[in-house]
Structure formats: structure tokens, C-alpha cells
Structure 1
């Protein structure tokens, strides 16, 4: 697949870029994408910490008081939940929510997410992400001309500093380095914008 490379201000840059069909030309499968997105979202969840129950607290197990004749209720030890410092009754149990997913499936999911955007024509390739003086107002005007309202920008090894500064206050605009490209962020963006460096990095990531 061949795409024209444009500049951020909407002007045509020199040359085109050839997208590798092994990365951008696959047929997307909903089941693979669903598995990867589910894995991503579950990995974000922090594990639930457990509470100490009656058998976990460090208090004496010796019986205190008399069984009968003391004028109070019968108790066996101080670890009972009714006492201050005792164990929690029916407490929260320790849980982890993440699950493993084969690396090949994760890589395939990312390829399919990129291919899904390419198939719908939602990929734009820019020469670079340089923004003069890092001004938000200037960038907002440029993105309006390109009709990029809710877009994910992916750069090369590192994020362009001027673009990151200018886009930090723009709602719906996200930017990631190529190493941070992931299925969830790609699918939820209306448009995917790649730089030349990002295309090279992504293709090298799968072919290397």
C-alpha cells in the first residue's frame, strides 16, 4: 500500500511511503483484537489486596475470662472480629486480574489494528511533527485543516518535544513513541497519524 506523505501544515512533502502489507495489509479479526484489548485493560488493573482475617492477626489465642459466672458473653480469644484489633469478618481476598497472552497473539493484534485503520483509510503519514515555537494555537489550526479532531499520533524512537508541548492541552489528541503503539489506543482513535520514522520503526519491530 502506497500513501502520500504530507507536512503538518497540509502541504505535500516530497515522495511517498510504501506500507508493508505484512504489517498494514492483514485482514482484521474481531476475536484477536478483542483478546488483546481485554488483556491490555486487565493488565492495567492493580491487584486487590487482602484483609487480615481471624486466623491472620497476631493476638493471643488464650481464653480470657471464665466460661460461666463472669456476667459477660463467652469468648475464646482476642482474635474474634468483635474486638478492636481482631480479624476482619468476611474480609476482602487477595486477587490478581491479569492473565497471560502469547507474544505472537499480541504482535498479531497490533498488526491487525494497524491494518484496520489502513483498510478504512484512517491512516495519515506526516513527514515530521515539528511545530514552530511549540504553540498550541498554531497546532490547533493545522489539525483543523487536516480534519484531525480525535487522533493518535505515533512518532519515531522519541516523541517530538515541540509537538508534545503544543498538543498537551488539546482534547482528543494523543501522541506516543513507536515503542508505545498498542491496540487499544489505536482502535479508540478516529484517525491514526504516523511519521516516516514511525513507519520505519513499526515495520522494523515486526521484521527484526
Structure 2
């Protein structure tokens, strides 16, 4: 698959051959759903449990007469109504640690990249080099490049510092290095922007 390469000034910079094994496979909704569900579950923190009345170290001795005390007939200091007692219907320990085959995770990322290429919402840039970290200047360039309402920009090993700082105040633009590329973020954004370095890193990730 061939795609045109542009500069940040929206000028043509030749073509790039995208590996069909990475950018040209047919997306499957069931695979993408499995990977996204796995990602979101892995992001959930372990729920901290609370101590219920059976977990609290309090005396079980009856601390008042059955009759004549003028109070209710209590028999357990660990009851939820007392200070220091256990919590009624407290949170239980829930550990979210699902597993998903590495082959499926890899296939899901390929399908996410392929879905953007197939939909025509994949843009390849030569690089993200900016002379200065000026948000106003970058905003004008982004308009010419045809970014969508939400755009994910992926660079090579690291994101260009000037581009990262200039885009920080632009709503709907998120940046990350190639190592952070994932199915959920790619599908969540309307447009995917890759640099040449990012394409090389992603293709090497699957071929290595």
C-alpha cells in the first residue's frame, strides 16, 4: 500500500510503501472488541476491601443487661452501628487482571492501524520538527493538513519536544511515541498521524 508523505507545511515529500501485513489486513470487530475490553480492564485498579463485622477485632462479650438498662439489647461491639465496628455491606476485594493471548493483542493493533488506512483517516508526515514551540503557528499548519476533530500523533522513539509543547494547548490532539501505540487510543481518535519513524518502528515491532 502506497501513501503520500507530507511535511508539517502540507508540502508533498514523496511516497511511502506501507507493509500490507500491518496496514492492509481486514479489520474484525470481534478482535478489536476483545483487545479494547482487555485494555480497559487492565487499566482498572484493584478495589481496596473494607472490613466487615466478621473482620473487625472487637469483643463479642455481651456488654449490658438483657433488661433494665434502658437501652437496646446489644451483644456485639463489632456491629456496624458502633464506632470501631465493621462496615455493613462494604466493598469486596476485586482484582481485575484479565489475560489475552499475545497473538490476539498483536493482531488487534494491526487491525486498528489497517482500519485507519482503509477509512482514509491515516496521515503520514515526514517528521514533527518545529523551529519553535508556538501553538498559534502549529494550529495553522494542522488546519492545512486536514486533521480531524480528534487526532492521535505517533512519532518514533520520542516525540519532538517543540511539537509536544506546541500541541499541548490544542484541543483534540494527543501525542505519543511509537512504543505507546495501542488499539484503544487509535480507535478513539478520528485521525491517526504517523511519522516515517513511527511507521518504521511499528513495522519492525511486528517483524522483529
CA distance in 2, matches of 1:82, 1:189: 50
Q: How does 1:117-136 map to 2 (within 5 A)?
A: 117-136=116-135
The 3-state SS of whatever aligns with 2:206 is helix
- Aligned pairs for 1:86-97 within 5 A: 86-97=85-96
Q: What's the offset of the Cα at 1:186?
A: 0.8
Structure 2: gaps of 5 or more residues: none
Aligned length: 207
Task: Give the whole-Å Cα distance in 2 for the aligned partners of 1:179 and 1:166.
Answer: 21
Q: Corresponding residue for 2:153?
A: 153
Partner SS, residue 108 of structure 2 = helix
Q: CA deviation at 1:29?
A: 0.1
Counterparts of 2:170 and 2:132, CA distance in 1: 16
Structure 2 counterpart of 1:57: 56
Cα distance per residue 1:32-62 (max 9 Å; x no partner): 0011111112222222222110011122222
3-state SS of 2:91 partner? coil
Match of 2:201 in 1: 201
Moved more, 92-101 or 15-24: 92-101
For 1:77 and 1:198, locate their aligned partners in 2 and report how far apart those are by CA, in whole Å: 64
* Aligned residue in 2 for 1:115: 114
SS in structure 2 opposite 1:134?
A: coil
Distance, in Å, in 1 between the alignment partners of 2:64 and 2:4 is 86
The alpha carbon displacement at 1:98 in A equals 4.1
Could you report, residue by residue, the CA deviation over 1:138-187 in whole angstroms, capped at 9, with x for unpaired residues? 11000101111321110001111011000000011111100110111111
Match of 2:169 in 1: 169
What RMSD in Å do the two structures reach over aligned CA positions?
Answer: 1.4
Asked if 1:182 is matched to 2:182, the reply is yes
Q: Which structure 2 residues correspond to residues 14-33 of structure 1 after superposition, within 5 A?
A: 15-33=14-32
What is the TM-score normalised by the length of structure 2? 0.94
- Distance in 1, matches of 2:40 and 2:164, equals 25
Q: Which runs of 5+ in 1 are unaligned?
A: none
Q: Aligned-pair distance for 1:69?
A: 3.7
